[in-house]
Amino acid sequence: MNMPHNAFKAALKNPATQYGIWAGFATGYAAEIVATTGYDWMLIDGEHAPNTVPGVLAQLQAVAPYSTAPVVRAVTGDANLIKQLLDIGAQTLMIPMVETAEQAAALVRAMRYPPHGVRGVGGGLTRATRWDGVPDYLNTAHEQLCLIVQVESRIGVENVEAIAAIEGVDAVFIGPADLSIGLGHAGNPGHPDVQERIQHAVKATLAAGKACGILAPNEEDARRYQSWGCQFIAVAIDISLLRQSATATLARYRTPATEHAPSRTY
């Protein structure tokens, strides 16, 4: 049995923009629906959605037959959690709130087996090895694994050059919401100060030869970030799409007491 191919990692080497969607319902059924809609990638969110390791596994299994590539965001950069997520077959991990090159280097080690890292060996117990069906998995696993680090704080942006330069970091993902609140502009990622820091992070990442991504469900924001060089952009959130569609449908029959424009915070 061959090592499963990481289509997302391969796509980052091409100039075409990869459009993604956030999957926050934490169920395999909802994730599979999203996977049928044609997005290049989907983020299975373990940080802010109520996902457990078994729940992430169910979603990976549900979306496996489809072309949409799953990216799993862990709640933390803990090496033990990373080991579990890799063992259940996640090949692309996103780790939030990375602020230093030392953090980034530790994440790289967590993704790799000794002598280049600290990942424990699960062997025939793990879905990643297809239960010992993938030949030479221990020596080749890193070839299909992809590490995305999130830069989403003032300190992270200050250190973005050093973070992006770490060998084994495949991409940097910018979090506008956390960055905006960290810069004193809560709920306003469009503030000029925040936008300047975002553009700086994009330029620094590209200068290091790494791919840069961002979350931007608002079309104006997404197109601006694309013009700056962001290569993979999450342009939708499944939960937001459901809520917006549901409220818009009801509004056709019942005038709402108040109307709120969709948030541009995320």
Residue ranges in the chain modelled with pLDDT below 50: none
Q: What pLDDT is stored for residue 67 in this prediction?
A: 97
pLDDT at 59: 98
Q: Which of 17, 21, 64, 62 is nearest to 39 (CA)?
A: 21
Q: In 3D, which of 145, 165, 158, 174 has the Cα closest to residue 209? A: 165
Residue from 33, 42, 36, 37 nearest 69 by CA:
42
Nearest CA to 235 among 12, 4, 9, 18? 18
Whether pTM exceeds 0.85: yes
Report which secondary-structure segment, H or E, holds 94.
Answer: strand 92-95
| pLDDT value at residue 154 | 96
pLDDT tens digits, one per residue of 44-54: 999 999 999 99
Task: Supply the angle between the helices 192-207 and 219-228 in degrees, to the nearest 10.
Answer: 40
Q: Tell me the catalytic residues.
A: 48
Indicate the DSSP class of residue 145.
Answer: -
Encoded tokens for 24: 């926050």
